[in-house]
Each structure stands twice: as C-alpha cells, then as structure tokens.
Amino acid sequence: MGAISPNSQQKKIKKHFWILVAIVFGMFIFCYALVPFYNVLCKATGFNGKVEVVEANLKEIAKYKVDKNRTVMVELMTTLNEQMPVEFTAEKPSLPLHPGQVVRTNYTVKNLTNKSIVVQAIPNVMPGLAAQHFRKLECFCFQKQPLAPFEEKVMPLVFTIDPILPDKFGTVALSYTLFDITES
C-alpha cells in the first residue's frame, strides 16, 4: 500500500476548502435572490394576498359601476405581532358591499402603556387572488401611527372592490397585523 504524500493531502484539503467556499457563496446568492423572486411570484399570482401599499387611483375608481346584483362580504380581522401592549380592533367585524361601492370604516388602536410607541399595520387579503381587486383610497396602513401613553386613536379605511372581481369570490378577508416599530 502506498502512503499518501503530504503534498497530495494538501491538494485534497485545498480542493475541499474551495468546494465549501463555493457552496457558501451559492447559498448566499440563493438567499439574496429569494426575496425579489418571492415578490415577483406574489405580484403575478396574488399568492399570499400580498398587496401593494399604494393608494388607488381616484380616476380609476370613478369609472367603476356599482354592481348592485352582487354582494361581497368583507371580513375585517386584526392581529398583533408579538405580545404588544395595545388593543387593536375593527369597528365592524364584517361589511357587505356591492363591487364598485366605496366603503368607509374605522379601526381603533389603544396604547395600554405609559410610554410613547409607534405602530405600523401590514395588510393581507385572502383569498390571495382577490388581492389584485382590492383598492384602498385611504388607509391607516399607509403611514406609521405614533401613539402617546394611553392614547386611543381612530384610524380610517376607505376602500372598494373592483367590479371585475370573479363571481366565485363571495367573501374576501382583509387582515391587518400590527407591528411595534418604536425605535429604542
């Protein structure tokens, strides 16, 4: 049996080292590309109900004809990220609307602490394919919401659903998750 020369062993170690470096580099590139890929996938398919946080074009909304022959039930849900010391509720748990009809409702948030905080709401529409038909004209989610100690704030939401929403969607859920974004 021949002995492995130290030179040969060093070449193998060097080869394995570069393979590991290439794997780590490949994993980094994959992770870096995953977020833009996910955003493109959500935009193309409506997957996960991801909605763009942009205000609806008022000229576009003005062209809508209210479809009084259909009613869509919009379920309004609220959740808190982490164990936030706030109360967060929708004025009404659900709202019936005719596609094309502009609806106004409110959400309430109350700071339960003696410290100032800043919160931000992130929307989600389900089923995901209905998200592309959900239009917000005014939304508290467009801005950060500062809250003074023990302050209660009423936050407006004005929205409509595009009348071209397919008939199979009789119920649409709009959920907001509230995050504490107070900078320490």
Fold of 50-180: Ctag/Cox11 (Pfam 04442) (2.60.370)
Q: Report the pLDDT value the prediction gives residue 144, as an integer from 0 to 100.
A: 92
The whole-number average pLDDT for the span 36-46 is 64
- So where are the chain's domains? 1-45, 50-180
Q: Report the pLDDT value the prediction gives residue 84, as an integer from 0 to 100.
A: 87
pTM: 0.69
Give every CB contact of residue 76 below 8 A, 6+ residues apart in sequence.
90, 91, 92, 93, 94, 95, 105, 107, 174
- Asked if pLDDT for residue 112 goes beyond 60, the answer is yes
In this structure, are residues 137 and 56 in contact, taking their beta carbons and an 8 Å threshold? yes
Q: Report the pLDDT value the prediction gives residue 60, as an integer from 0 to 100.
A: 73
Q: Report the pLDDT value the prediction gives residue 52, as an integer from 0 to 100.
A: 47
- Asked if pLDDT for residue 91 goes beyond 80, the answer is yes
